[in-house]
Amino acid sequence: MKKVIVTGVTGQVGSYMVEYLLKNTDFQIFGAIRRLSVPNHKNIEHIKNDRFKIIEMDLSDAHSINHCIEEIKPDFFINFAANSYVGFSWKMPINHFEVNTLAVMHQLESIRKHCPNCKYYNAGSSEEFGDVAYTPQDSNHPLRPRSPYGASKASARQIVKVWRDSYNLFAIQGWLFNHESERRGLEFVTRKITNKVAKIKKAIESGDSFEPLELGNMESKRDWSHAEDFVHGIWLMLNQESPKEYVLASGETHSVKEFVDIAFTEALGGSLVWRGAEKDTQLLYNDTVVVRVNPKFYRPAEVDLLLGDPSEAENGLEWKKSVDFSQLVSRMVRNDIEETNAT
């Protein structure tokens, strides 16, 4: 039985990957997690399968990484674990490089020593493109990050290339544009929006008071897809005859304001009115403010527009998204309404 290690299985993409592998392969799957005093296994607690086993691996500890790889000798290693909250990367830049870059080097070096035929995938990011030179962004776009997070991912990309070229490893880092889902963490803006929408809806229906949703740059544009669509593309990348990296994206760009508009319309229906512009933007529902801009949420350096070109993946991998932008937002809102009503 072939073996695969998936890191970051308590996150959204990692949990979807485990489900995908259980459904589409007969592999033994090892889900790597970091020991926490209060574990959060919400995204995987429903997975009950003899082929899925939790192991402990700390990405800040080279010995921990080497021990797991030496013991398991995986046929595939899929690295989703990362410090991935862009806004927080300015407050913890060194930690982002330790987890997002140095850990990749330790993984590759352990694979080189113990299982050089292992196929390795590291999750790249559209944030590597940062201050974009042209639109849409494809695999030839230069790396121009504008955040410590983006820089850590761009650095990891170079490490992957060096180990691939130097040791003939099957090692790739595909670019993932923004991917969201019902399992997205509450610290990310998309889930922050849908979770707050659900709470505001409940408060309005109950006649309770509530605080408006506060956001930063409403005009910031991103290329959003459902995380579940990306796991299929990643697996196709890993099963090529030779290593080649692709951009996974929807090929559409939408602003944070558009995301908010669809989310509140899904939850509250009509009677929504936008007022103001830029830092004075507000959304009103029946003359009550439900969204307002708070300048404290603006980043030191903003990436204003990200739009991926998925054509290479569509042609080379025969990959295509199945969930569009409106469906993504609606699914997230309905999920949070259900969870909020259950509490």
Q: Could you count the other beta carbons within 10 Å of the beta carbon of residue 102?
A: 17
Of the residues 19, 127, 180, 228, only one is catalytic, namely 127
Tokens of 219: 């005009």
Whether 60 is catalytic: no
At residue 122, the 3 state secondary structure works out as strand
Tokens 């990050």 found at:
145
Whether 125 is catalytic: yes
Task: Report the alpha-carbon distance of residue 227 to residue 20 in Å, rounded.
Answer: 12
Residue 325: phi and psi, rounded to 5, are -60, -50
At residue 220, the 3 state secondary structure works out as coil
Of the residues 64, 110, 125, 181, only one is catalytic, namely 125
Residue 3: phi and psi, rounded to 5, are -125, 140
Amino acid at 308: G
Task: Report the alpha-carbon distance of residue 319 to residue 297 in Å, rounded.
Answer: 35
Please compute Rg for the chain using Cα positions. 20
Of the residues 16, 120, 121, 149, only one is catalytic, namely 149
Instruction: Please say whether the beta carbons of 72 and 5 come within 8 A.
Output: yes
Burial environment of residue 271 by CB neighbours within 10 A (0 to 12, 13 to 18, 19 or more): exposed
Q: Is the bond preceding residue 300 a cis peptide, omega within 30 degrees?
A: no
Catalytic residue positions?
A: 125, 127, 149
